[in-house]
Structures are given as C-alpha cells and as structure tokens.
Amino acid sequence: MHLHIAGICGTFMGGIALLARQLGHRVSGSDSNVYPPMSTQLQAQGIQLLEGYEARHLEPEPDLVVIGNALSRGNPLVEHVLEKGLHYTSGPQWLAENLLHGRWVLALSGTHGKTTTSSMLAWIFEDAGLDPGFLIGGVPRNFGISARLGSGPFFVVEADEYDTAFFDKRSKFLHYRPRTLVINNLEFDHADIFPDLAAIRRQFHHLVRTVPGNGLIITPPDDESIERVLAEGCWTPRETFSASREADWSVSSSTADGSSFEVRLNGGPAGSVEWELMGEHNLGNALAAIAAARHAGVPPSRACQALHGFRSVRRRMEIRARIDGITIYDDFAHHPTAIATTLAGLRARAGEERIVALLEPRSNTMRMGIHRKELPASLRAADEVILFRTPGLEWDPQEVAQALGPCAKVYDNIVELVEYLAQSTRSGDHIVVMSNGSFGEIHSRLEQAIGRRRHG
C-alpha cells in the first residue's frame, strides 16, 4: 500500500511515517518546512520527501492520504484530496486502527515533560528486554529514531492534547485508549485552538473516560487542574508522584542538580538513580515513568537501574557544542513553566557560571502573546536574556526586555545576534537556545562564529 503523509516533518506525523514504513508500506510525504532531525531520519528510512503541498504530489494517486493537523481547508493538497474523493484519514486514527488495538498502550500526557517521560518509559522497557513499540514527539538518543513497531505487547505513546485534523477537532489522545495513563501536569497552552483552560480540561476528562477499570492513572498530587478533571469522574485506580511533596512515589534525597536521587514508594525505598539529566522536573518525570513501568510489570529497582543509562532526547537540553570553554545547548522549551524549570535545572548544575538564555517565541501560543506577562519571571535564572523578534509575532518582546532590565536585549537579525554572542561570551558561559523550530540553524552559526573568534 502507498501512503502519502501530509505534514510529514512534524514530530508526530514523522513518527507515523516511520511506523508505516516498518509495516512494509511504501511511504511518501510532503511538508512546507523540511529540516533535521526529522527530515534526516525519514530519508534514512527510504521515505520520499517533497517540499510544499502541491496537488501533483498525489500523482500517481496513493492508496491513502494521512493528513496532519497543521493542514486546514484552503490548503491545495487538502482541496485536491476532497475534490478527487481520495481516501484519507488522520494520523491518530491511522495509529489506533493499525497498531494500537490489542496492545497495552501507555500514554504520557500533560503540558510539559511528555517527550522526556515517554522516552524514559520506552527505554526502561527496552533495557528490561521487552522490545516496546513507541511513538514519541522527539528523537530519544537511546534509540536514534522517534517511532518503531516493537515486538512486545507494550506500546508507549506521547499523548498530545492538540487537535487531530481539520475534519476531527478532538484531541489526538482520544484515539489511543490507554491502559496506563500519565498526566504530568496541566496548564493553558495551544491558544490557537483552545479558548481557555476549561476547554483543555474537558478534553482530558474525555481521555480519563477511556481508561479501563483495570488500568492505572498516574498524576501529581497537587495539580489543581488535574484534580478538577478527575473530580468530573474517574473509574480507574490512581497513583501519585512528586519530587518535592508527599506522594505514593517520591524522592527521599537528591543532589542539588538532580543527577542522583533515591526513589521511595509508599514511604519505603524503591531504588536509586544516577544519570546525566538535571533538574527537579526530570526527577518528577522519572517517578512517573517508573510508576508506569511498574504497572506493566517492571520492578521499580529494575526501572531505576535502566535510567542510569538513559540518554535523554534530542533538543531537550541537548549539548550541541563545547567550544572555547562555552557550552551551547538546544532546548525545546516554549512555555514559561518549561523555560523556568529548564533554567533552574541548569542553574543548579552551573552554579555561579554565567547563563545566557536565547528565546525564539515561535509556537502559536507564544506568537499570540498569551504568556508574555509570565515570561520575565520564567527567565530570571539567566544572567543575560536575548529575545528574538520572530516574523509574525503579535506583540513586542521589548515589553519583556524592559521588565527584565539591563540584562535583556531584543534582536530581529540572526547574523547580528550571532556576532554579538560570539564577541560577548567567554569561557565558562552556558548558552541555552530555546525554540520549538530550527531557529535558522543558530546553534551551528554560533559554533562557527565562536570558533572563528578563537582562531582569529
């Protein structure tokens, strides 16, 4: 069967393409913005990538068009599909109908931490010899690929609340029917499709309704929005986790940067972890993954042991370069809470060394300025803040810069920004680039510019 994936370079749709290819289908795809790491892993799997959304990309006619939620009515490819009566579906529906039925689905949801926690859980299963299937909205470094079929009964899926497709406005995760559900946290996001937090809570309540009575729901104990969701009705046992409060799963002690910690279950010792990650938020992610693995039969001590070898996810505080004593990180953070936890984790590890936070407010919610009043507080752990005025921004980042004071600057030219950082940073500095896009390949530009300075 020939599948054409429209919107193939999105993290979710790229994963769908990989799974379809592993099932033996011929796969092609189109997107308006083709860039690594998704483009490179798709091409490595023999998947044809086409730039843009032209009707001719569907000639000869494929057996099925899988349409991503980035495409809407008026898109030339969408209009061609409808006018010609081609067979089409959404990514989540294809996944549910072709892969998830009959498997033990473990869904990782919430505003923050989904990708990292999903990757942890998949690695725990892999390390335990269970060969899980997974679909993750990033590239776990332990696997080097964002999706695979797996031969075992378990399938780990990053469960996103974003809408499914132009013809199906339900959240994607409503297709997955998990037996094990993690809700890491719940805040307002995706302002382009949700009018308020209540609308997001409604989708999560629909998700809770799909979890069976012999399943498990794993949540923090003190998230008001999650408590409101569960108060609307919950028919499934629940376990709680917290790295800082009393919960079923907790941390008894940890190093300041979170690189080592002791896990407790119901007050008793359950295992210890030493790993390369940092930050209290990742301790919480680990507890959720360990709890989910235990529900599927992996002992907590075994799960903790597996996390010793966990290598995180590309674009989650990924070190892109160390040059001239300067460390350049790539991070996907694009919400004030994620920005704050990312910088707090780095501060705990960096100590008094200088942190330069570089933010591209690129997500739809960021472009709309929904969170701009929370941004100054989320960035205060940095010694210097640079905001990039990305095209299409509906607010002036100078507002945030003024609130932060002399430590903050605004740029709208990448070349000038790179040159400034190349000249102003010094040995021992940490540059954290935060964006949910490619940001003009600024990481490579910085590395080259700093290198020229050193050899100049």
CATH number at residue 368: 3.90.190.20
Alpha-carbon gap, residue 40 to 9, rounded angstroms:
10
pLDDT of res. 455: 61
What average pLDDT is seen over the chain?
90
Tell me which residue range forms the domain holding 238. Answer: 102-307
Decide if 312 is inside a domain.
Answer: no
pLDDT of res. 180: 98
Decide if 363 is inside a domain.
Answer: yes
Q: Report the percent of the chain where pLDDT is more than 90.
A: 57
Is there a single domain that holds both residue 273 and residue 366?
no
pLDDT of res. 96: 97
What average pLDDT does range 115-134 have in this prediction? Answer: 97
> Model pTM greater than 0.85?
no
Pairing of strands 249-254, 260-265: antiparallel
Structure token digits, residue 143: 């696997």
pLDDT of res. 454: 60
In angstroms, what CA-CA distances link 415 with 354, 388, 437, 442, 451? 23, 12, 17, 9, 15
Last residue of a domain, one of 284, 307, 330: 307
Decide if 96 is inside a domain.
Answer: no
Say which residue the tokens 């490579």 belong to.
Answer: 444
pLDDT of res. 438: 75
Decide if 127 is inside a domain.
Answer: yes
pLDDT above 90 (res 378):
no
Alpha-carbon gap, residue 254 to 77, rounded angstroms:
52
Is there a single domain that holds both residue 130 and residue 196?
yes
Is there a single domain that holds both residue 145 and residue 292?
yes
What average pLDDT does range 112-130 have in this prediction? Answer: 95
Is there a single domain that holds both residue 271 and residue 379?
no
Is there a single domain that holds both residue 297 and residue 159?
yes
pLDDT-derived band at 222 (thresholds 50, 70, 90) equals: confident
Alpha-carbon gap, residue 65 to 79, rounded angstroms:
12
Decide if 389 is inside a domain.
Answer: yes
Helices 414-424 & 442-455 angle (0-180, nearest 10) = 40
pLDDT above 80 (res 414):
yes
Last residue of a domain, one of 288, 307, 326: 307
Give the count of domains, the chain: 3
Summarize pLDDT for 277-334 with one digit per residue, the tens: 878 888 999 999 999 999 999 999 999 999 999 987 777 778 888 888 888 888 877 6
Peptide bond into 37 cis (omega under 30): yes
pLDDT above 90 (res 377):
no
Last residue of a domain, one of 90, 120, 150: 90
Q: Environment class of residue 2 by beta-carbon count within 10 Å: exposed (0-12), middle (13-18) or buried (19+)?
A: middle
Structure token digits, residue 100: 């998830």
Is there a single domain that holds both residue 264 and residue 359?
no
CATH number at residue 7: 3.40.50.720
Is there a single domain that holds both residue 120 and residue 204?
yes
Is there a single domain that holds both residue 282 and residue 333?
no
pLDDT of res. 38: 72
pLDDT of res. 280: 82
Decide if 383 is inside a domain.
Answer: yes
pLDDT of res. 139: 85
Decide if 313 is inside a domain.
Answer: no
Is there a single domain that holds both residue 282 and residue 185?
yes
Give 116 or 368, the one with higher predicted confidence: 116
Alpha-carbon gap, residue 276 to 301, rounded angstroms:
18
Is there a single domain that holds both residue 279 and residue 340?
no
Alpha-carbon gap, residue 133 to 144, rounded angstroms:
14
Decide if 109 is inside a domain.
Answer: yes
Is there a single domain that holds both residue 324 and residue 290?
no
**Read out DSSP for 276-310?**
S--SHHHHHHHHHHHHHHHHTT--HHHHHHHHTT-
pLDDT-derived band at 456 (thresholds 50, 70, 90) equals: low
Is there a single domain that holds both residue 267 and residue 390?
no
Give 392 or 176, the one with higher predicted confidence: 176
CATH number at residue 177: 3.40.1190.10
